[in-house]
Structure 1
Amino acid sequence: MLEISNAVQLPDSEIELNAIRAQGAGGQNVNKVSSAVHLRFDIKASSLPAFYKERLLALRDSRITGDGVIILKAQQYRTQEQNRADALERLVELIRSAATVEKTRRPTRPTLASKKRRLEGKSKRGAIKAGRGRVDF
């Protein structure tokens, strides 16, 4: 069981983990050993509550396919066990981040002093411009 929060848990059967060969530098170890982990998690077919599913599917994330499948590739570490733990931790982090609801932004209003400063600046600028006119004797 993968614990997302106190009330939400994911059974291991819903998470598909495959060992693959890692990319990049590493020489013989990278070329021979399947130490990277490819994680697939189907959001729609999962046992997550509807709130979590809606929030995850609404995310604009490159790790989520159009079919609603989260795909993570973990190849940072040398061992498969560490990469598996890293992939699961990143999945939990993604689900938790989707569940957090941000406060709605309330726009602030300008203070009275800032309004006065703005109007004084405008009148000063207007006086400067008015003084540029033609002078008659």
Structure 2
Amino acid sequence: MSAGGIDIGPGVFIGEDELVENFIRSSGPGGQNVNKVATAVQLRFDAFNARGLPERVREQTIKLAGQRATKDGVIVIEAGRYRTQEQNRADARGRLTALVAKAAEPPPKPRRKTRPSKGAVERRLKTKAGRSTVKKLRGKIEND
């Protein structure tokens, strides 16, 4: 657990000092206000050097971020969906939290190949033969 930051799960947290926010002009809703006030937020998180991320979670976070991650491992999230800085700030932090939480999930177990049992194969073939017989019996009846 971090003193001031975002707690994501057991052993995974983002420190408040690891987040850098810049407020920029938004392209979203706001009317004339949109040209005067910087309401959109650009949230930067240095995932490569983050203290609260285990190695596996760090690598997975950068991988999941895709184009939002720079070559240096800094994740940049822009949020300009709302008209206020507070809402955009919360939106950006929520999106970052969701990204890191998804990366922190344990990897799925690999699939093991299985084969149908001998009995199952025999039953399937028997029902197929039965269906075939039923369909053959549906043919035209010849009158003598």
Scaled to the shorter chain, the TM-score interval is 0.7 to 0.9
- Out of 98, 107, 110, the residue aligned to residue 93 of structure 1 is 98
TM-score (structure 2 length as normaliser): 0.71
Unaligned runs of 5+ in 2: 130-144
Q: CA deviation at 1:90?
A: 0.7
Unaligned runs of 5+ in 1: 123-137
1:110 matched residue in structure 2:
116
CA RMSD after TM alignment: 2.6
Partners of 2:18 and 2:46 within 8 A in 1:
yes
2:135 matched residue in structure 1:
none
1:36 is aligned to 2:40: yes
- Out of 67, 71, 74, the residue aligned to residue 66 of structure 1 is 71
Partners of 2:29 and 2:82 within 8 A in 1:
no
- 1:50-72 deviations in whole A, cap 9, x for unaligned? 23213223446222222211110
Q: 1:79 to 1:111 in 2, by over 3 A?
A: farther
Partners of 2:62 and 2:75 within 8 A in 1:
no
Q: 1:8 to 1:25 in 2, by over 3 A?
A: closer
Which whole-Å CA distance do the structure 1 matches of 2:27 and 2:64 have between them?
27
Partners of 2:48 and 2:58 within 8 A in 1:
yes
Q: Percent identity?
A: 45
- 1:70-125 deviations in whole A, cap 9, x for unaligned? 11001111100010011011111100101112222223433546633359869xxx
- 1:29-65 deviations in whole A, cap 9, x for unaligned? 2111111000111112211222321322344622222
TM-score (structure 1 length as normaliser): 0.74
